[in-house]
Amino acid sequence: MSTMSVPASALAPTNGFARCVGIYLREARYEFLRLFRTRSFSLSVIGFPVVFYLFFGLIMNRGQNIENVSVAKYMLAGYAVFGMVGAALFGIGVGLASELSAGWLELKRASPMPPAAYLLAKCTSAIAFGILIVSILTLMGVTMGHVSLTVTEYVRMIGLTVVGVIPFACMGMALALLVPFSSAPGIANMIYMPMSFCGGLWIPIMMLPKFLQQFALLLPTYHLAQLMLSIFGYASAGTASNHWFGLLGFTLLMLGIASIAFRRHEQNS
Amino acid sequence: MSAVLQFTETSHPQSANDSSATVAALTGLTKRYGNGILALDNLSLSLHRGEIVALLGPNGAGKSTAVKLLMGLSSPTAGVVSIFGADPRQASARLRTGVMLQVGRAPDVLRVCEQIELFRGYYRNPMPYADLVKAASLEGIEKRMFGELSGGQKQRVLFALALAGDPDLIFLDEPTVGLDVESRRLMWTQIRSLAARGKTVLLTTHYLEEADALAHRIVVINKGRIVCAGTPAEVKSMGASVPGAATNRSLRILRCVTALPVATLLNLRGVTQASLEGDQTTLTSTQPESTLREMLALDQTLHSLEVQSPALEDAFLALTADLA
């Protein structure tokens, strides 16, 4: 047996790269499948933004324009962010918490799976759901809300989705490591809903009380929403670089918390 | 006969490459958890090529902790873990090991075949898919979702995942929990054939019968320490010798219903242990004849008497009771 393993490891570099790519792709595919088949996840994470946008963006403000701003288009940015944040927070936060509690993550860590493949699979699946949600909302806006959108605007929305999911993916990771699985969905909701409201995803930020507008500066949802609005030329305050810094700071903070929580978790297991 | 065959088989690569004899080693391992619990206390253990070692002990003895440390899933407070001469966290070590953890539960909404494909993909030379399905007797349930399986079927899927990479070293943490008698025998056959192919298997178990039936070597641990180690036969005789040193041959277990209090019984000649459960008193004695004579003289009402030689289970209980 030991003589057999020598030529095997010598052969590895030749197909090592392809094998490695294969691991990453398979991991991502099965993670997406897992999320998609988990109805409690896929239905609520797509359903909530769709229903919210339908009621508050399309039905209540039918064809309204305020100071040359299409309400339906303005709300599209907010609910797009709302949708992708949900995908990241629940897909990663709750998914990771359940795999931690089931011991599945431990089994995977004991295998030769590269840890990065696991994290990347979680992240890309959240991004895929984010893109799906943003596309559905855009389609609704265009077909039902007379929203006019250029292809460039749509492409920039998707681009922002890919990047914008990352801070919330990190937040989900920190959440999963800090909170036991049984309370993870509840706590995720307790963060998700207020953070969405206060970040101006449901009601335009300038309509919120002054102190909430100041508080919003601390929220990643606010910064991401402003970046999304700026694609349509609707940004209300702050420069793009301010918002990018806000998101970067939040991401680093969450990564820090997650790494401390992971070390603590490792010591106790 | 098969043991002799195996020995000559394993001795060949040993001479060619002397590091292959010891596949895995724990040296002076201590693990203290964050909450202060001492799970392993200066434990040393080495696993050799082609052998099945059973780690036997009561709940909380440190069996699972030892497996986790061997897998590099948690880091020791003191001591060294070496797998194929390397750190267990290194990819080279992980590529050659497979593990079945006690709490390992796979995602409910992935199919059995998908889980297996995923794990096979992690290894350079995975076991052929058909062989895996056969080894873990998963025929017919390959397309089922993991969440739809029975407890025993889930256990067999996790066994398949442990074997996915055709590893040289396999850790099985309580592999047959929840299996019916037939599936348990099937898994035993599989574990034996792994060892026959030169693989090393470390399994933890509660089932003394399992350790006795499978293992070449039993390591009894309690409170994070090794109580004793040896072949099943040796462990049995060691268990018998625990209380009375040289007089191990005559050790007997006496069960009866008696009015005599435990304290009195412990003062009788030869008695090493006595306990009362319900109305039944159980004691071990190194001089059973004289113990019995005294007991019968002291208590005229004594009845339901049974005298037994210690079986593996009793040896195990005696060993883990108050030692370590």
pLDDT tens-digit map of A107-131? 999 999 998 999 999 999 999 999 9
Find out whether A165 and A84 touch, Cβ atoms under 8 Å.
Answer: yes
Q: What is the DSSP letter of A68?
A: T
Find out whether A53 and A95 touch, Cβ atoms under 8 Å.
Answer: no
Long-range own/partner contacts, residues B272-279 (CB < 8 A, 24 or more apart) = B272/B242, B272/B243, B272/B244, B273/B243, B273/B318, B273/B321
- Distances B278 to A38, B117, B253, B256 between C-alpha atoms, Å: 50, 53, 17, 11
Q: What is the pLDDT of residues A173-221, one digit of tens each?
A: 999 999 888 899 999 999 999 999 999 889 888 888 999 888 988 999 9
Confidence of residue B189 (pLDDT cuts 50, 70, 90): very high
Residue B153 to residue B141: CA distance in whole angstroms: 9
Q: What is the value of ipTM here, to two decimals?
A: 0.83
Confidence of residue B245 (pLDDT cuts 50, 70, 90): very low
CB crowding B134-158: b at 16 or more within 10 Å, else e: ebbbbeebbeebbeebeebbbbbbb
A149: nearest Cα among A52, A211, A80: A80
Name the β-bridge partners of B75. none
Chain A residues within an 8 Å CB radius of B114: 30, 33
Higher per-residue pLDDT: B223 or B98: B98
Chain A residues within an 8 Å CB radius of B99: 107, 110-111
Chain A residues within an 8 Å CB radius of B32: none
B55: nearest Cα among B239, B238, B234, B206: B206
Map tokens 């180690």 to a residue: B229
Tell me the CB-side half-sphere exposure of residue A106, using CA atoms within 13 A: 28
Contact between chains at B110 and A12 (C-beta distance less than 8 A): no
Chain A residues within an 8 Å CB radius of B158: 107
Confidence of residue A86 (pLDDT cuts 50, 70, 90): very high
Confidence of residue B270 (pLDDT cuts 50, 70, 90): confident
Q: How far is B191 from chain A (nearest CA, A)?
A: 17
Number of domains in chain A: 1
Mean pLDDT over residues A72-86, rounded? 93
Q: Is the pLDDT of residue A31 over 70?
A: yes
Q: How far is A24 from chain B (nearest CA, A)?
A: 10
Q: What is the pLDDT of residues B132-145, one digit of tens each?
A: 999 999 999 999 99
Q: Is the pLDDT of residue B242 over 70?
A: no
| pLDDT number for residue A49 | 94
- Distances A184 to A94, A97, A175, A179, A195 between C-alpha atoms, Å: 6, 7, 7, 6, 16
Chain B residues within an 8 Å CB radius of A113: 122
Chain B residues within an 8 Å CB radius of A20: none
Chain A residues within an 8 Å CB radius of B105: 102-104
A-B Cβ pairs (cutoff 8 Å, strict): 100
Q: Which amino acid, one-letter code, is at A202?
A: W
The rounded mean pLDDT for chain B is 83
Q: What is the pLDDT of residues B72-82, one digit of tens each?
A: 888 889 999 99
Find out whether B234 and B203 touch, Cβ atoms under 8 Å.
Answer: no
A241 vs B: CB within 8 A: no
Q: Is the pLDDT of residue B9 over 50?
A: no
Q: What is the pLDDT of residues B198-226, one digit of tens each?
A: 999 999 987 777 888 899 999 988 888 88
Token pair in block for residue B245: 């040193």
Q: Which helix (H) or strand (E) holds B14?
A: helix B2-16
Q: Which residue of A has its CA nearest to B70?
A: A110
Token pair in block for residue B149: 């399986």
| pLDDT number for residue B244 | 42
Q: What are the DSSP E strand ranges found in chain B?
A: 22-32, 38-48, 52-56, 78-83, 97-100, 169-173, 200-205, 217-222, 225-230, 252-257, 271-277, 280-285, 303-308
Q: Which of B34, B101, B107 sits opposite A268 (nearest CB)?
A: B34
Poorest-pLDDT segment among A242-251, B66-75, B270-279, B315-324: B315-324
| pLDDT number for residue B318 | 63
B54: nearest Cα among B277, B161, B209, B180: B209
Substitution target in B48, B122, B127, B169 with the highest count of A β-carbons within 10 Å is B122
A248 Cβ neighbours under 8 A, 6+ residues apart: none
Helices (H), B104-229: 112-120, 129-135, 151-163, 181-196, 208-214
Q: What is the DSSP letter of B291?
A: H
A151-178 and A184-198 helices, crossing angle to 10°: 140
Which three-class secondary structure state does DSSP give residue A179?
coil
Q: Which of B105, B114, B122 sits opposite A102 (nearest CB)?
A: B105
Query: What percent of chain A has a predicted confidence (pLDDT) above 90?
Result: 60
Mean pLDDT over residues A233-238, rounded? 80
| pLDDT number for residue B324 | 39
A269 vs B: CB within 8 A: yes
The rounded mean pLDDT for chain A is 88
| pLDDT number for residue A85 | 95
Residue A227 to residue A194: CA distance in whole angstroms: 20
Residue A190 to residue A180: CA distance in whole angstroms: 15
| pLDDT number for residue A113 | 92
Tell me the CB-side half-sphere exposure of residue B259, using CA atoms within 13 A: 7
Q: Chain B neighbours among A 59-78 (CB < 8 Å)? A: none
Poorest-pLDDT segment among A38-42, A98-102, B232-236: B232-236
Q: Which domain holds residue A50?
A: 2-267
Chain B residues within an 8 Å CB radius of A5: 96, 125, 168
| pLDDT number for residue A175 | 94
Domains of chain B and any CATH numbers: 2-232 (3.40.50.300), 236-321 (3.30.70)
| pLDDT number for residue A5 | 40
| pLDDT number for residue B310 | 62
Q: Which of B13, B71, B197 sits opposite A2 (nearest CB)?
A: B13
Contact between chains at B101 and A106 (C-beta distance less than 8 A): yes
Higher per-residue pLDDT: B244 or B271: B271
Q: Which of B73, B145, B168 sits opposite A1 (nearest CB)?
A: B168
